[in-house]
A and B are shown apart, each in its own frame.
Chain A
Amino acid sequence: MISVLAQAADQGGGLVSTGEAVVFWILGPVALASALAMVFARNAVHSALFLAATMLSLAVLYMIQQAPFLGFVQIIVYTGAVMMLFLFVLMLVGRDSSDSVVEVLRGQRVGALLLGVAFALLLVAGVGRAFSEVTPAGLGEAGSNGNLTGIGRLVFTKYLFSFELTSALLITAALGAMVLAFAQRRQSAKQGQRGSVIQRLRGDRISPLPGPGVFATADSVAVPALLPDGSIAPGSLSEIIEGTPVDEKPRREPDAHALTDGRASTKVVDE
């Protein structure tokens, strides 16, 4: 089905086939509405989702215009990786944090508004001119062997220098990000699993601190834990909570048969 639709789009540069028109009139409004919703959504994650919806609609529009490679790369790279990174950061920030109303840079909003309107005018003028004056070339020679071959040939012959420059820029940016991230962590060297085990063995306590209420008569944090012999475990005492007095049981003599209820020992003695 899709290949048939795509073939229909192949016939002639300027004509728009029925299938393409149907898809456009469904996805165009969706993309536009999502873009607007992205701007006006209160929640940052909702904004990110609407942006993803816009990107997906654009990707399908690319596919229907016989650029399946561009469409799927748009989904994989932008929707899959870049937006996922955005979501990652947004979740780290927290779901209930909202935008601050305080304007940090003076006159920032007015400036942004003016620049935005100017950019929109530029775009409309450029695209409008393309509608009226430029004759569409269609896929023609560049796409005769399919998307992938065409793009590959152009990137590695005609545009090789700009391609390499872009990759150098990206690598520099990645290295810079790594340097910035690692420079801050140097102060406290990470102590490995082995190091922490040795530290614990050399310290005064091997076992973890007793939780509140262990061997105690109540499970409140105010009640200290009792050690198996009945004394209060000092590690379980909280510094900020006032303790509740517990009655320390009298210490018994250590009895090796305590766990068997004294059954076996008495029997032997009896007989």
Chain B
Amino acid sequence: MTVQAQAQEGLTRTQQLLADDPLWLVLLKVVALFAIGVVLTLFMIVLERKVVGRMQQRPGPNRTGPGGWLQSLADGLKLAFKEDIMPVMADKRVYFIAPVISTIPAFVAFSVIPFGGEVSIFGERTVLQLVDLPVGVLVVLACSSIGVYGIVLGGWASGSPYPLLAALRSAAQVISYEIALGLSIVGVILYAGSLSTADIVASQSSGWYLLLLAPSFVVFLIAMVGETNRAPFDLPEAESELVGGFHTEYSSLKFALFFLAEYVNMVTVSAMATTLFLGGGQWPWPLSFLNANGWLQFIAFLIKMFIFLFIFIWLRGTLPRLRYDQFMRLGWKVLVPGSLLWILTIFAIRTYRTSGAGNVTTLLVAVGIGLAVVLVVAFLVPDRQVEEQVVELASDYPVPPLDLSVPTPSRHKLRARPVDAGQVRKPALTGGPSAKETEDV
């Protein structure tokens, strides 16, 4: 017993509460996490179709259930009853296990997310979190890197060229964007002084890292879209290039599992972004009195998470898909060097502050003066002259002139013509003489 007490001395409050959880509470949390994952997936699919529909000026699904909100439930049930096809060329075992590999890590990553504060469930004080490992952030990274195995193996095992291409893309994509993702987290870890998700949330009580570490946040935001294979980075399932991508040959429940994994991954990275940069379940200043209740913190967490999920949908409705080399260039030549530079800056600032060589104000003023000088010089340097290019008309093909201006229709044609009383106007193109012709006669 004394050993146990000694072991608990080094633990934080969250870890103590979690270590005291009875088995039934742990099981309850596991089931709740699973339910959250599945329900959010169903909800997100409908929400995505509705929001993208509104963005394209159409209503989206509105038939099944109240307001069409049960559409994805119906789709899921339909998927379960579809025929499960095993392609002849498939590698049977790998083909079978690939969707499972992609789904399980997606749910495992849920376990370290701090959904809210301290609450009491059936009289037991606990925290809305399954585990709080000292390396919690790494769990999410590890899970995402294992989950991609499902995509890669599924594409390979299908025994068909398009899925194989998608698998290749996915493998390269994950290797490159995981680096950017990891580097963007470094800043947060430096400021929080811990890899535990609960500690990171607690360290943001004075201010969110969104403001303090804005460049890290931007890199994380881009890299998380790349990591979850979502538009505009959905190259492994580019339907205009690769049919269906890695899941072209999949059907029935296996296909549903891939779908589930994709959406749960979206929820997970959104939750991670909330945890790392938006202060987890903490309400912002005017509402900060709400932080006393753990369940209200849970609501704040959900609101912030849905902001990110909406951004995912928004991106999909707005941006065209990147070409593969553009995507790789963005990752390796912009995100990785950019975040390395930013980390160097953070190191410099922290070293300056801890060494006590001077106060922060003088540093900021000096940096500001330097920036101003650079800007002034940049404005004084004349622009490079871009020579006008003479486009020669290539061949006999009819090419419109470059200075073509579309003629505006003359006004009298636009004016509404008064309809003569007693004369029925027949619609054009019905075979009879058009109204214009009758008038002429």
Contact = CB atoms under 8 A, between A and B. Distances in A.
B178 A88 contact: no
A81 B421 CA distance: 80
Contacts of B8: 7
Nearest to B189: A148
B431 interface: yes
A219 to B, nearest CB: 21
A75 B146 contact: yes
Contact of A204 (B19, B172, B395, B434): B395
Interface stretch (B40-48, B53-61, B129-137, B307-315): B129-137
A75 B132 CA distance: 18
B18 interface: yes
A271 B441 contact: yes
B15 A76 contact: no
Nearest to A69: B135
Nearest to A201: B394
Contacts of B134: 68-69, 146-148
A263 B434 CA distance: 11
Given A1-B131, A3-B18, A95-B156, A80 B94 contact: no
Overall SS of chain A's interface: helix
Contacts of B397: 206
Contacts of A10: 7
Interface in B128-172: 131-135, 138-139, 141-142, 145-146, 148-149, 152-153, 156, 159, 164, 167-168, 171-172
A264 B91 CA distance: 62
B363 interface: no
Given A84-B145, A91-B171, A206-B397, A1 B26 contact: yes
Contact of B433 (A75, A80, A271): A271
B278 interface: no
Given A69-B138, A263-B431, A271 B437 contact: yes
Interface string B156-197: 100100001001100110110010001000000000000100
A215 B189 CA distance: 64
Looking at chain B's contact residues, the main secondary structure is: helix
B361 interface: no
A165 interface: no
A45 B395 contact: no
A75 B175 CA distance: 13
Interface string A75-101: 110011100110110011001000000
Interface residues on A, range: 35 or more
B437 A87 contact: no
Contact of A7 (B7, B139, B156, B167): B7
A49 interface: yes
A72 B136 CA distance: 10
Contacts of B11: 3
B437 A76 contact: no
Contacts of B15: 3
Contacts of B148: 80, 84
A88 B394 CA distance: 44
Chain B interface size band reads 35 or more
A257 interface: no
Interface string B112-140: 00000000000000000001111100110
Contacts of A264: 434
B171 A76 contact: no
A2 B133 contact: yes
A109 interface: no
Given A147-B135, A271-B441, A80 B164 contact: no
Contact of B142 (A11, A76, A87, A271): A76
A173 interface: no
A36 interface: no
A208 to B, nearest CB: 14
B135 A80 contact: no
B168 A91 contact: yes
A84 B142 contact: no
Nearest to A202: B394
B3 interface: yes
B362 interface: no
Given A79-B146, A88-B168, A95 B159 contact: yes
Interface in B394-432: 394-395, 397, 431
Nearest to A145: B10
20 contacts: A3-B18, A11-B7, A45-B94, A52-B149, A69-B135, A73-B138, A76-B141, A76-B142, A80-B145, A80-B148, A80-B174, A81-B175, A84-B171, A87-B152, A87-B156, A88-B171, A92-B168, A148-B195, A264-B434, A271-B433
Given A81-B145, A88-B175, A206-B394, 4 more contacts: A75-B146, A80-B141, A88-B172, A267-B437
Interface of A: 1-4, 7, 10-11, 43, 45-46, 49, 52, 56, 68-69, 72-73, 75-76, 79-81, 84-85, 87-88, 91-92, 95, 146-148, 201-204, 206, 263-264, 267-268, 271
A-B pairs with lowest CB-CB distance, top 6: A80-B145, A72-B138, A75-B142, A201-B394, A88-B171, A7-B7
